[in-house]
Amino acid sequence: MLSGGSTPRTLYALLASTYRDQIPWTRVHVFWTDERYVAAHDPNSNYRMARDTLLDHVPCPSGNVHPMPTHFSSPDAAARDYERTLRGYFHDSWPHVDLILLGLGEGGHTASLFPGSSALREQTRWVVAVTASAEPPRRLTLTLPVLSRAASIHVLVAGAKKAGALHHVLTGLPDPNAYPASGVRSAAGTVIWWVDREAASQLVVGTESRTPSSDAPTHPQADTHHD
């Protein structure tokens, strides 16, 4: 499952070039974690970004690509339609997705789960429409119960603007209402954080000040990687 934003562009381009031949594309099914409610050709479309940087350059059959719909008159109808698509694919049981790629917003959002959103409390629906505190505001997003059932979650975080949010998410007590990304847990799998030096600048990792008792990860279910 793919996310949008600008951070994954480089990864998608690498998957379409350097790593293209290492992935069994004909057996890969692609879904999205969230989508801006704009036309598929709009520059803000997460589907368009993934298509331009990745999907147009790899032999993934078009029938395996499942973008979130944005042509319904209401985003809520589109969210329900995408949930039907997912339920059909996963035979109506909670999806156990192989791999979910997420990003982190400056305010702590992930997918299109924004601070204070009632979508963060959703326990039944798989996909909901939200009004985001970001442009464009109309969006569709997967809910936390879907994200948390993935076998592996990879969160890509880059840039100094993310440092504060990353620090809160990885070192604070989980508070999804304030920092939605802190609600991302993998019930049966792994969460791996890929962060660059700028984003990690407020984290203290691998320093000599570490004491034996502080060797336990500060965030039990998160592995943190940075370059």
Q: Measured between alpha carbons, how far is 163 from 200 in angstroms, rounded to an integer?
A: 6
Which span sits near ligand 6PG by CB under 6 A: 3-11, 60-68, 88-96, 123-131?
3-11
Which of 31, 34, 79, 119 is close enough to bind ligand 6PG by CB under 6 A?
34
Q: Measured between alpha carbons, how far is 142 from 63 in angstroms, rounded to an integer?
A: 21
In contact, 82 and 46? CB cutoff 8 Å: no
* Bridge partners, 212 (sequence order): none
Indicate the residue among 132 and 203 with the shorter CB distance to ligand 6PG: 132
Minimum CB separation of residue 134 from ligand 6PG in Å reads 7
Considering only residues 42 to 71 of the shown chain, the ones binding ligand 6PG according to CB under 6 A are 46
Residue 181: half-sphere exposure toward Cβ, Cα within 13 Å? 31
The answer to whether the peptide bond before residue 8 is cis (omega within 30 degrees of 0) is: no
Instruction: Give the x/- contact pattern for ligand 6PG in 92-131, rule: CB under 6 A.
Output: -----------xxx---xxxx-------------------
Q: What's the first-to-final CA gap in the chain, in angstroms? A: 24
Minimum CB separation of residue 33 from ligand 6PG in Å reads 6
List of residues contacting ligand 6PG (CB under 6 A):
3-7, 34, 36, 46, 103-105, 109-112
